[in-house]
Structure 1
Amino acid sequence: MKAAVESSGPAAVTVETVTSDKGTTDFVRILVQGKSGKSRGGSAPTLGVIGRLGGLGARPTRVGFTSDGDGAAVAVSTALKLSAMASAGDVLDGDVIIATHICPDAPTRPHKPVEFMDSPVDINVMNQHEVTDEMDAILSIDTTKGNRLVNVSGFAITPAILDGYVLRVPDDLVDIMEVSTGKPCVTFPITNQDITPYGNGVYHVNSIVQPATAAKVPVVGVAITTESAVPGSATGASHEIDVAEASRFTIEVAKAFGKHDARFVDQDEVDTLRNLYGSLAHLYQSAEQ
């Protein structure tokens, strides 16, 4: 994978292997520089793209690419396309940092309504490797097929999360989604429970907005969805068109965000909420704190 991205264009790729008592995974971080990006000394904002998952394989229990791996597939395909674009002269204004992890033999665990993929590492380790201070906003992409809330083939976007607040769905991202898919925007409902850390004993739809617990910038989830409830550990359940749609949306957001044309939050609204009610970042605290 590292060689494929590097051969596609001028992208900087780092890979770090992390091991626990549940297995091993490779954390991948890819920087595609913008012409006015901060990595070049410019001031254009940096978009973070996180492919969130437990594992893209569940060997030896399951043979093949799991449905849960779509988050990584979107992240890597986005990196490949942006790198190829830059090589051809289509350089974005801002930097884009893509992060995910690659694990072909992750464990599974029970979850309702469908079985979850587990991971060799916990959420805190993922956030440490995937959320960086350079990111000014984050798209967190996660397979979200095992639910009974959004039953459409394609993807949906969540409200923006910042400072413990579940804010409105960004208008600019709604516009980009409708243009890039040619269909009405689909949104995914999340709750306060979903923005609290894993392991606190409350239900989470999945880990799609868990990067918000480690980020000080807005996070929007990109949920890859299906019409029926599909287990994350299922194989043969990935749909190339859905992956392509989510990747195309991500690329269009990256184009606009680097030009200040895609706002994730209304800063005046955020400031008003903070003045009225203070920070809700205490929701990010783990059960042990």
Structure 2
Amino acid sequence: MILKQVLEIFELIDKPTANGEEVVEYIKKAGADSVFVKKISTEKGSTDFVKIIIKGKNGKLSGGNAPTLGVIGRLGGIGARPEMIGTVSDADGAIAALSVALKAADMKRKGDLLLGDLIITTHICPDAPTQPHNPVPFMGSPVDMQLMNEYEVDDQCDAFLSIDTTKGNKIINTKGIAISPTVKEGYILKVSDDLLDIMQIVTGQLPKVFALSQQDITPYGNGVHHLNSILQPAIATSAAVVGVAITTETAVPGCATGASHPMDIEIAARFSLEVAKMFTQNKCSFYDSAELSILLERYGDLKKFQTLGEK
């Protein structure tokens, strides 16, 4: 259960003065091995990128060989002040990822270590801009996607879970969480059976998967519609990426306040932690490497979809 951590993180960021330094110090005191904060300012505002590392028993950072999982809390901002008062729905991904970090740190302090390393990244911005989007407004960000990926997609990771509020659409019409097919180097691969099994166990329900189009895994800025930014980390890495969407039955704006549901955030965090346990033990695969080899041999690589392409 990670509900305690979800509530603690929410209280920590639910204020106009929320910042990365305070968040990572809180998690470091709980038992994190190392933390990183970098404040980035642009003409649109500023945000604090944060990274928390929980070293595993046989993790690469300690000289071992167990796989490393990255958990990204993807969002535009945790708040849209002064336009909106309070924490916005878009903050759910950050809250979930930071809750994973807080729980994993506490577990390690008590003696329950993951086998491999866990690297959690996100950013803290209490006053991000908003932007028009159909069917409901999106949260904007003071930084562009390239910069976001630079600080949040750590090349030490062997696979990534990207947690993102995914409520402003008509594609996913269920409340709770849903996962994406695995995305790797421009390919949308089949949904991981291992992840579906973990999802069923964690939720106690049949697993839910959301649809992806090819354009959803291309970079922002190429002039085509994107579901949201949940798979944008996939353009910046050769590792496999799976989106963990926090969802609703109705379309909810990312800039709406009072729209965060603690139990749904908790499920996303608990699912991510269970994946971390299994993945770092080599008991959970994000994709079938043999099938990917066949696809590459027959159709070639699709890395061009990780770029802006040709004009």
Give the shorter-chain TM-score range.
Answer: over 0.9
1:141 equivalent in structure 2: 163
1:199–1:286 contact (8 Å) kept in structure 2: yes
Find the partner of 2:243 among 215, 218, 221.
Answer: 221
In structure 1, the residue matched to 2:51 is 29
- The correspondence for 2:76, drawn from 54, 75, 91, is 54
Q: TM-score, normalised by structure 2?
A: 0.92
Structure 2 distance, partners of 1:286, 1:208, is 17
**TM-score (normalizing by structure 1):** 0.99
| Residue identity opposite 1:85 in structure 2 | M
The residue number in structure 2 matching 1:20 is 42
State the percentage of identical aligned residues. 55
Mapped contact 1:224–1:246 kept (Cα < 8 A): yes
| Structure 1: gaps (5+ residues) | none
Matches of 2:117 and 2:31, distance apart in 1: 14
Instruction: Return 143-152 or 169-178, whichever deviates more.
Output: 143-152
Letter in 2 for 1:234: A
1:170 aligns with 2:170: no
The amino acid of 2:67's aligned partner reads: P
SS at match of 1:159: coil
Q: Does 1:132 align with 2:154?
A: yes
* CA distance in structure 1 between the partners assigned to 2:35 and 2:154 by the alignment: 15
Select 2:229's aligned residue among 183, 195, 207: 207
- The answer to whether 1:101 aligns with 2:135 is no
1:192 and 2:214 correspond: yes
Gaps of 5+ in 2: 1-22
Pairs aligned (count)? 289
- Out of 49, 54, 70, which is 2:92 matched to? 70
Partners of 2:100 and 2:269 within 8 A in 1: yes
The amino acid of 2:75's aligned partner reads L
Is the 8 Å Cα contact of residues 157 and 188 (structure 1) preserved in structure 2? yes
Cα gap change, 1:288 to 1:17, in 2 (>3 Å): farther
**Mapped contact 2:32–2:52 kept (Cα < 8 A):** no
Tell me the distance in 1 between the aligned counterparts of 2:260 and 2:65.
38
Q: Distance in 2 between matches of 1:212 and 1:228?
A: 27
Alpha carbons 2:172, 2:210 under 8 Å: kept:
yes
Q: Does 1:270 align with 2:292?
A: yes
> Residue 286 in 1 paired to residue 286 in 2?
no
1:261 is the counterpart of 2:277: no
Return the offset for 1:10: 3.4
